Amino acid sequence: MNDTPIKTLEHVRQFLNGNKAIEFNIEAKAVRYAWIQAMLLRFHYRQLGKAEKGLVLDFLQKVSGYSRIQVKRLIQQYLQNGRLHRRQRTVQGFRRRYTLEDIQLLAKTDEWHGTLSGPATKKLCERAWVRFGQSEYHRLAGISVSYLYVLRHSSSDRHVRQHVDKTRPTGSRLGERRQPQPHGRPRYLRVDTVHQGDLDGVKGVYHINAVDEVTQFEIICSVEKNQRTVSDSSLRGPPRPISVHYSRVPC
């Protein structure tokens, strides 16, 4: 960075007002720390008044690209130690407790037992380690129910566990008791069945009344047996009608 034209606080004030040209070229963080320290030494920051310190602070913030809080922190470090030193710290983050082998073992356990609930699966892992001494379950034995569900939704678990849903039957609407909606089309029937009753142990006949919802064409017939009460020996043919009466009801 070419900052040689800036040597006094007046030059700093002109730069902040936009009247002084300067070239920006600070890339590495270590270079920024060294430049900030050089500027504090150049302007004798310790000996400045409050207004001059604020002017230098604005200048360092604008050129370095750091926030005001960060620049103040660096200045405080300079005042305490007489120099700026960048402390490099690599954060490793959270350590992974459950390995890929644990996730695959959990997936196989779900596959063996049909994917039980979380508490039941947790109990299986505890029994496998505590009671049966299976060492591969020693980490899963202490897993929480909530994190068990997290592992179940991981991609590694889905690649191992295979779950097959059986074909579910679809309900049929045949024989459903509801008001017909013909929308002006014939062949939508209203059907009523009445049992005449038994006499001296002899089964009585069934009267069936069917009326077309649109044309009002009516069929009345009597049969010997209702289909729901027909025995297996009489399923070879249709029930025998005793009498049939046709009539057309006037609209």
Distance of alpha carbon 7 from alpha carbon 172, whole angstroms: 92
Say whether 242 sits in a helix, a strand or coil: strand
Per-residue pLDDT of the chain (251 residues; tens, 9 = 90+): 566 667 778 888 887 787 555 555 566 788 888 888 888 888 888 888 888 888 888 888 888 888 889 889 989 888 888 888 777 666 666 677 888 899 889 989 998 888 899 999 999 999 999 999 999 999 999 999 999 998 888 877 666 666 666 777 777 666 667 777 888 888 888 888 888 888 888 888 888 888 888 888 898 888 887 665 444 433 344 444 444 444 444 44
The DSSP letter of residue 232 is G
Distance of alpha carbon 216 from alpha carbon 140, whole angstroms: 72
CA angle 110, 115, 116 (to 5 degrees): 115
Distance of alpha carbon 225 from alpha carbon 206, whole angstroms: 7
Q: Which helix (H) or strand (E) is 83 found in, with range?
A: none
What's the order of all strands across the beta sheet hosting 217-223?
189-195, 206-212, 217-223, 241-248
Sign of CA dihedral 125, 127, 133, 139: positive
Say whether 47 sits in a helix, a strand or coil: helix
Distance of alpha carbon 40 from alpha carbon 46, whole angstroms: 8
Decide: 140 and 99 in contact? Cβ < 8 Å: no
| The pLDDT of residue 174 | 65
| The pLDDT of residue 237 | 43
The DSSP letter of residue 236 is T
Residue 67: φ, ψ to 5°: -70, 165
Say whether 152 sits in a helix, a strand or coil: helix
**Whole-structure pTM value:** 0.35
| The pLDDT of residue 28 | 75
